[in-house]
Amino acid sequence: MRQVVKVPLKSNSVKDIKNGYPLLVKDAIKDSEVVMQEGNLLYLVDLNGAFIGTGYYGKQNKGIGWVLTRKEKEEIDVSFFERKIREAVEKRDRFFASEDTNAFRVFNGEGDGVGGITIDFFNGFYMVSWYSEGIYSFRKDIYQALNEVVDALGIYEKLRFDTNGQYLDQDDFVSGQKGEFPLVIKENGMNYFVDLNDGAMTGIFLDQRNVRKALRDKYAKGKTVLNTFSYTGAFSVAAILGGAAKTTSVDLAKRSLPKTLEQFSANGINFESQDIKVMNVFDYFRYEERHGLKFDIVVLDPPSFARTKKMTFSTAKDYPKFIKDTLKITNDDGLIIASTNNASFNMKKFKSFIDKAFKEMNVGYKILEEHQLPEDFAVPHNFPEFNYLKVLFIKVRK
């Protein structure tokens, strides 16, 4: 039997949870002596001992667990998870029926009622990401539930937790048929190769789908495009298929070169007319500036934090500087597509970073488009703080 721990909450948190706030933070707990272990069910009560909700304990960077239900009689069992997954799948029927997209998020943690777990669909295969040992302890029930709801060709998983913050390198195959990787998926008619069994990342960030489409359909035609922090070159592919004059993809990781060539080949793109540079973006900026080279469109999508031999950066601190560097190599009437997935600041703050940078450079601008998470990356109602993705299409007016 799973252990149940009674957890008294502070009155502020009682109010939040009653309003539907799904996250349990350490500070919400009234009695700091309560002992909880990964995977414990938490019987959440107010200061009078009245039931508020049932949650589970699972430490993540965001908090110490998630609320699962506010109905006292609701059991947390296979049928609970089945209901949640079925609801999530039904919400995505438009995606399942789509002819030109077959990779998307099926279950987005707290946005679909169970924080700490996400499930993505890749052309018949499912990939489950577990964000704490606590939620992973429900693995058997959740896989049983998933298999009741969907007919998966095969299931893979990512363990996004461990003791020292490192990704556990392991075989990610769970059940069903093994995939042949790279597996080709389709997104708005574009092809991308993914590998569900090759470390923490798959080759594509599905949450940027609408951004790639907008770049391809509305902006890329005839333009020179610089794709910084390009990873497997997904934005470059979209730009080329949108008729870009030329793309340059820059990423520090050695694997980015073969991976980008692979994405090009998946779309019949002649790679010889494109540039792929394996180097530090900041060195590249200096190189371009020295040579007076400028681009019509620059995509700026840095990781939230990074450490190289020479420097460390965080987007929460350094974004204005990134924009200033970018402006130096952007044409007078160019476009900057600025993106961040740093959950520690919101869209308003992000806009203030952009504004600061342009003001300090004495350059005018206009925001043409604003994107956050796409529809399949469901976010809890009324809690925009879980909508971590922020993307701005910024028209430069030098």
Q: Which stretch binds ligand SAH (CB under 6 A): 98-106, 131-139, 277-285, 372-380?
A: 277-285
- Residue 306 found at the interface with ligand SAH (CB under 6 A): yes
**Given CA atoms 87, 88, 89, 94 in this order, what sign does their dihedral have?**
positive
Closest to 111 (Cα-Cα) out of 354, 391, 376, 310: 376
Closest to 107 (Cα-Cα) out of 205, 99, 178, 115: 115
Q: Specify the amino acid at residue 390.
A: K
Instruction: Evaluate whether 266 touches 233 at the Cβ level (below 8 Å).
Output: no
Instruction: For the CB of residue 313, give the shortest distance to ligand SAH in the complex, in Å.
Output: 7
Q: How far apart are CA 165 and CA 356, in angstroms?
A: 34
78 exposure class (CB count in 10 Å sphere: 0-12, 13-18, 19+): middle
Contacting ligand SAH within 19-38 (CB under 6 A):
none
Return the residue of 82, 301, 325, 376 that touches ligand SAH, per CB under 6 A: 301
Fill in the per-residue mask, 213 to 252: x = in contact with ligand SAH (CB under 6 A), - = not in contact. Answer: ----------------xxxx-xx---------------xx
Instruction: For the CB of residue 152, give the shortest distance to ligand SAH in the complex, in Å.
Output: 25
Contacting ligand SAH within 247-266 (CB under 6 A):
251-253, 256
* Number of Cβ within a 10 Å radius of residue 253: 12
Q: Which stretch binds ligand SAH (CB under 6 A): 34-42, 104-112, 137-145, 275-283?
A: 275-283
Q: How far apart are CA 172 and CA 158, in angstroms?
A: 6
Instruction: Evaluate whether 17 touches 70 at the Cβ level (below 8 Å).
Output: yes
- Residue 208 found at the interface with ligand SAH (CB under 6 A): yes
Instruction: For the CB of residue 223, give the shortest distance to ligand SAH in the complex, in Å.
Output: 18
- Residue 47 found at the interface with ligand SAH (CB under 6 A): no
Q: Which stretch binds ligand SAH (CB under 6 A): 39-47, 68-76, 116-124, 279-287?
A: 279-287
Fill in the per-residue mask, 105 to 144: x = in contact with ligand SAH (CB under 6 A), - = not in contact. Answer: ----------------------------------------
Closest to 335 (Cα-Cα) out of 310, 360, 307, 354: 354
- Residue 288 found at the interface with ligand SAH (CB under 6 A): no
3-state SS, 58-102, equals: CCCCCCCEEEEECCCCCCCCHHHHHHHHHHHHHHCHHHHHCCCCC
Instruction: Evaluate whether 353 touches 319 at the Cβ level (below 8 Å).
Output: yes
- Residue 85 found at the interface with ligand SAH (CB under 6 A): no
Return the residue of 104, 121, 143, 205 that touches ligand SAH, per CB under 6 A: 205
Contacting ligand SAH within 312-351 (CB under 6 A):
none
Q: Specify the amino acid at residue 292.
A: G
- Residue 136 or 393 having the CB closest to ligand SAH: 393
Applying CB under 6 A, which residues contact ligand SAH?
A: 205, 208, 229-232, 234-235, 251-253, 256, 280-282, 301, 303, 306, 308
